[in-house]
Structure 1
């Protein structure tokens, strides 16, 4: 809550909240922000659905990487991770499973500011979990995204940008 109000968080409180983690840079930010302990939903006894294939993900393949960081505060820190599994299954670090699907790219909403960096592609990614559906636009390099809409509300109407990037060599345990 302190961070959300742009207040200083005492070191002792940070250590307690984040289990002694020293933190990590996220999204090449200059500030070091610790990540909270994450609860990842377990895989079934048979391992659950495999990771999504390049064919399933199309332009969202990200060079074969399947784990993406998610930040609802413009990339200052990571709030969660997404893992794309086959058959449209989404595993999250919010302790739940969800769904993903590729959808036709939406035109910019009237009055929406231009996004930076440039976002492109023929498809957007719709991700849903716990009653929330976000539509995401892929960046021109195919390694980052920006929110287009959340629950039908255009992204430019939110105070902070929601962005994400592929996490090279990462896996959800």
Structure 2
């Protein structure tokens, strides 16, 4: 049994939940596809994605990406988004990033916080402004360079 990657089947829908580290020790499970399978990745629990994990991940995706009708990713955290922006193949061609976390920082009290954003709402960049710190009620600022971090949207969001 794989502790990092859990697979749940619901007819032709396959939910893959990733928890913890994806590295050289990760065992990528074999998936049982049905005709017209769709895959939904939930990456909320991903804590590390290193170079060995990336290599294994891309090889694993290549074994099934042609067998599915759709590959969607949700709850993509900063770890995953930063790698997607750098490395081709972490999301297969035609794959969609449905939702992702955007990191914020409060300079006043040093709080770091992430907020889940639906990719379809990202065209309106004003959603990233005027965030208040839950701890001190001061203003929070994006903890990333907006254009660089959101680069993935051009390729992996629904048009």
Task: State the TM-score bracket (shorter-chain normalisation).
Answer: under 0.3
From the two aligned structures, give the one with the greater helix fraction: 2
From the two aligned structures, give the one with the greater strand fraction: 2
Give TM-score scaled by structure 1 length: 0.21
Give TM-score scaled by structure 2 length: 0.22
Q: Which has the higher contact order (CA 8 A, sep 6+)?
A: 1
